[in-house]
Structure 1
Amino acid sequence: MKWIISTSLILLAALIVLLNSFSTVQYGNVGLYKTFGKLSDKVLEPGVHLRVPFIQTIIQVNTQVAKAESDTSASSKDLQPVSTHVAVNYSIDKASAYNLMNNIGGAYDNIIIAPAIQEIVKEVTAKYAAEDLIAKRDLVAMEIQDLLTKRLARYNLNVNDINIVNFKFSDAFNQSIEAKQVAQQQALKAENDLKRVQIEAQQKVAQAQAEAESLKLKKQEVTPELVQLKQIEVQEKALEKWDGRLPTVTGGATPFIDVDSLTK
């Protein structure tokens, strides 16, 4: 019985040692050996790795793209208070994971990234007037990204992308912007109305000129012969309608029908 118990304990201890002799580095991470609190500069790729049981551990460093968000309060160039919400996508250089963890530690996002975002956003915001921060949003984001990339490169951190999620201004500034937009819309409407009136006036002038030209051409076509021909046409139509009876009352010396013109 004692032999069985001893053997079981030995096997159990061996099993525990065996299980603690392997460690897995997950996908999207790299591993670093930590022996009695000291880091090794050997970077382990994802997979299963041997380690000394109870003496060595493997810490994992995430090398996938991560996101850091920050709210920054600052003043614009024209001294307007601005609150900026920024989201930064970053990643760790695999080959430099040891330097980062050994010199900064696992809280690098709070120690390095957050303060850098705060400082750079304030610096860039102060270069632009409040309205330009809105109108030139892409340019502002690009400048922040360039400065942040240079800053974090010192710690082997890569800036993949940056997004200005929101600019928040004071209520007074928002009201002034709204009033300005309304004024611009009204001015644009007035300008469009003026152009419409001018176009309508030009159309009327063109129409009047066309009518006058047409009348002028018609007057040029009227000749004494044309007038005489028209008179004959009228008299012929009247003769066609005449019932053969002469009017009982006549006035003036002009006959009802000009017989001479008809005979001609």
Structure 2
Amino acid sequence: MQSNPQPEQITKTVVGVTTVFIGGIALLSSVFVVPAGEVGVVTTLGKVSNTPREPGLNLKLPFIQSTHNFSVRTQVIPEKFSTLTKDLQVIEATATVKYAVKPGEAPRIYSTIATDDSAIYARVIQPSLLKSLKSVFSKYELDTIATEWNNISTLVQESVSNELSKFDYVAVKGLDITGLKIAEEYRAAIEQKQIAQQQLLRAKTEVQIAEQEALKFQTLTRSLNDSVLYKLFLDKWDGKTKVVPPIRGGSTPPVIVGR
């Protein structure tokens, strides 16, 4: 007859299986992978580690440490905005900001700002962007903004970079401002002003040309005398045409009397 397993053997088997199971779970919990383009932030019972984890296979203490990933890829987000100019005109446009989280700042972002990527723009980028847009555009009148759009965009990008550098969380990669919208009557007024400026510039140019021509004529007139005229005549004389030479000491020019 076959005897029943002893209680001790059953206990050992159960303990062994449980140990292997728990050990497997612990082993799996002690490794984690940080995807490319991201960094990992490790917390130990809520305390944030100052050193972010690089992409690849990483180790952590099972059941004690947790990981949180942050993207460090360049993010591109369009932001529609409206603001007032120096002459109190409303303009609308779209600012597309390009930024990336600095890898070394991920732990500080997790501690002070956000526990995931989605909140970074709303809490860091957007307030600084809108502040810079209003600050720059309020310094210029509408016609200046419309005619010097590229220069204004550059000033806004510099202002945004300076504003975000106060926090040093992210790096601004670029800023494009497109789709400027202004009231149609002001657009027409700006175009008329540009036409008037071009006409004024053309008139000034014509005046300058006329003044230069007058100056040339005055200079030529002052340089002409009887001797110069006689010299010019001799240079052109064919040697056959009869002329009456001027009276010596007089001012009468030579006279052509025919052949």
What TM-score do you get using the length of structure 2 for normalisation? Answer: 0.65
Aligned residues: 224
1:159 equivalenced with 2:172 (yes/no) = yes
1:169 equivalenced with 2:182 (yes/no) = yes
- Within a 5 Å distance, the mapping from 1:15-94 to structure 2 comes to 15-94=24-103
1:161-199 per-residue CA deviation (whole Å, 9 max, x = no partner) reads: 222223221111112223344556677788999999xxx
Cα distance between partner residues in 2 of 1:159 and 1:45: 22
- Within a 5 Å distance, the mapping from 1:1-264 to structure 2 comes to 14-105=23-114, 106=116, 107-157=119-169, 158-183=171-196, 221-223=240-242
Instruction: Return closer, same or farther for 1:80/1:173 CA change in 2, 3 Å cut-off.
Output: same
Could you say which residue in structure 2 is the equivalent of 1:245? none
Cα distance between partner residues in 2 of 1:173 and 1:90: 34
Three-state SS of the structure 1 residue aligned to 2:61 is coil
Instruction: Return closer, same or farther for 1:96/1:135 CA change in 2, 3 Å cut-off.
Output: same
Rg bigger for which structure? 1
Q: Contact 1:30–1:62 at 8 Å: present in 2 too?
A: yes
Cα distance between partner residues in 1 of 2:29 and 2:136: 51
Cα distance between partner residues in 1 of 2:191 and 2:152: 22
The amino acid that maps onto 1:52 is: L
Cα distance between partner residues in 1 of 2:66 and 2:74: 25
1:127-173 per-residue CA deviation (whole Å, 9 max, x = no partner) reads: 01112113333432333233322321232232232222232211111
Q: Contact 1:43–1:97 at 8 Å: present in 2 too?
A: yes
The amino acid that maps onto 1:222 is: T
Moved more, 151-160 or 119-128: 151-160
Quote how far apart the aligned CAs of 1:121 are: 0.5
Unaligned runs of 5+ in 2: 210-231, 244-258
The amino acid that maps onto 1:174 is: R
Q: Contact 1:84–1:168 at 8 Å: present in 2 too?
A: yes
Cα distance between partner residues in 2 of 1:136 and 1:186: 20
Could you say which residue in structure 1 is the equivalent of 2:247? none
Could you say which residue in structure 1 is the equivalent of 2:213? none
Q: Over aligned residue pairs, what C-alpha RMSD do you find?
A: 4.6
Quote how far apart the aligned CAs of 1:9 are: 7.2
The amino acid that maps onto 2:182 is: F
Three-state SS of the structure 2 residue aligned to 1:44 is coil
- Report percent identity of matched pairs: 25
* Structure ranking higher in helix proportion: 1
Q: Contact 2:51–2:104 at 8 Å: present in 1 too?
A: no
Moved more, 139-148 or 107-116: 139-148
Instruction: Return closer, same or farther for 1:70/1:33 CA change in 2, 3 Å cut-off.
Output: same
The amino acid that maps onto 1:56 is: Q
Cα distance between partner residues in 2 of 1:191 and 1:144: 35
1:69-122 per-residue CA deviation (whole Å, 9 max, x = no partner) reads: 322211111222111321222222222221122100131210121011111101
The amino acid that maps onto 1:155 is: F
Q: Contact 1:100–1:156 at 8 Å: present in 2 too?
A: no
Cα distance between partner residues in 1 of 2:96 and 2:191: 27
